Chains A and B, each alone.
Chain A
């Protein structure tokens, strides 16, 4: 569907060169809702603009449906863009035009007949739930309604790919929810592939099936959302995951365990099948160890359950090692918790 291959992008402004992207590769498959997350300045805005060539790569290639956008002529590129819809953080609607005319614009550009435009726009406004606002001006709408108009406009030409540039970042949590649900519906009902960039992990958690984490112009981690949430490897990823999944010990528990040394703290991530089997029970039956649950949390991602626990093990070091191996065999993610971590988080 969309493939970005080893792309570098540098901007030169007033003699200062900024490397926005440093060798980024990613592949969005048909039907995906692919999320790219990163802090501001990570390069994600530049990345999404590559997908419809609003930005041209300095080096590397961008393929849409197998065709290299860089090999297209200006005309062919304009044609290709009609297959790629885009929505924006600040909606970018024409303030001088009514809702109906805003949605109609892509069709007017294609010189469609009045009747055809009327039919399609009516249908789109119904789909996004704004039939009664056709005659309003954008300035009369709320943020969520404006984004719905943006979405209707982006869908007018029946694209197969929808790019969402921080589409919910200017909206309140409740409106964000409803827009995300709408995007989910678009993906499911029209089979439109969606690429989202955001700085909110909750957006990824809510609707994405794949995620890439960006930092300083590079993708530092990518995979299925379940995988990345379950086993975040990179520090930045862990920070993002923390914003939606609480997996830290409370201060009072931290205080109490600081006193007791010689014990082993381990964070466990249960995913998929491991959440429905009595793995911990089997572990204590098989090995001579004790454990104490200091923390436990359950989250749902992609209609699957993710359980995070922090256990404090006591017993023979070798026996604990074997027990942890046993857990690993049952596909439970294991992360050693360092006592020093607490000193950091206690600051």
Chain B
């Protein structure tokens, strides 16, 4: 009854693929999303680099991308994915939509983290004659680091969920394994095993994020 056709190696392979997809899209997504978040905060009305045009474009663009469910985004941008990585199937083909999915999400989370920074600190920065770049570099970011780590943790957990759908384009990973072997071939052991793997992964990432944030915040 508790037999399965999936080997341990296949599990390992799936875990590695998931970590690859999450790792790469988190990294590139952060490279795009963090500056987006900063831009949203500094260009908003009353920000240190107030700019109506930038804010008025960036804000709805992020909303539009954020409102697409990942599975739809995944298929909707297939031509773009093919243009970027040369193929529309496989792990690398899954990474492109994952990045496009997570970057605006990170942007929004970063925006929220930065908005939490005490406005009094911004006022102090301004009273010292800090340039907008200095305000970001020496006041805004250091004060938000703890909160930023928690935001990225949330983004990572969201990414793990999204990678499960990457199987649609043959992306592989733990979620793909659960669908193809567990669901479609009625292999209960695989389903249970993948659920356990995902729970452990998410728990691990969340506690890592919490610990780091607490260490950095110190208050």
Query: Are A79 and B129 interface neighbours, CB within 8 A?
Result: yes
Nearest Cβ in chain B — how far from A245, in angstroms? 34
Contacts of B138 in A (CB 8 A): 105, 108-109
Residues of A within 8 A of B130 (CB): 78, 109
Closest chain A CB from B99 CB (angstroms) = 29
Q: Roughly how many angstroms separate A79 CA and B126 CA in the complex, as a whole number?
A: 12
Across-interface contacts of B121 in A (CB, < 8 A): 92-94
A108-B138, A109-B134, A109-B138 as given contacts; A95 in contact with B219, CB under 8 Å: yes
Distance between B180 CB and nearest chain A CB, rounded to angstroms = 46
Minimal Cβ-Cβ distance residue in B for A97: B142
* Residues of A75-92 contacting chain B, CB below 8 A: 77-82, 84-86, 88, 90-92
Q: Are B143 and A88 in contact (CB under 8 A)?
A: no
Does chain B have a CB within 8 A of A17? no
Which chain B residues border A97 with CB–CB below 8 Å?
142
Within 8 A of A (CB), among B101-126: 118, 120-121, 123-124, 126
Residues in B whose Cβ lies below 8 Å from that of A95:
118, 143, 217, 219
With A54-B123, A88-B120, A137-B218 given, is the CB distance from A94 to B143 under 8 Å?
A: yes
Closest to A81 in B: B129
In the bound complex, residues from chain B placing their C-beta under 8 Å from that of A91 are: 120
Does B127 interact with chain A (Cβ within 8 Å)? yes
**Is B131's CB within 8 Å of the partner chain A?**
yes
How many chain-A residues does the 8 Å CB contact rule pick out? 28
Whether, in the assembled complex, B216 has its beta carbon less than 8 Å from a beta carbon of chain A, the answer is yes
Q: Are A96 and B145 in contact (CB under 8 A)?
A: yes
Q: Is the pair B142, A96 in contact by a Cβ cutoff of 8 Å?
A: yes
Cβ of A205 under 8 Å from chain B = no
Tell me if A106 is interfacial: C-beta within 8 Å of chain B: yes
| Contact between A86 and B127, CB atoms less than 8 A apart | yes
B129 touches A77 (CB 8 A): yes
> Would you mind naming 25 contact pairs between A and B with Cβ atoms under 8 Å apart?
A78-B130, A79-B129, A80-B129, A81-B128, A82-B128, A82-B129, A84-B127, A85-B127, A86-B124, A90-B120, A92-B124, A93-B121, A93-B124, A94-B143, A95-B219, A96-B142, A96-B143, A96-B216, A96-B217, A97-B142, A105-B128, A109-B128, A137-B219, A157-B128, A163-B127
Residues of A within 8 A of B (CB): 52, 54, 77-82, 84-86, 88, 90-97, 105-106, 108-109, 137, 139, 157, 163
Q: Which residues of B contact A (CB under 8 A)?
A: 118, 120-121, 123-124, 126-131, 134, 138-139, 142-143, 145-146, 216-219
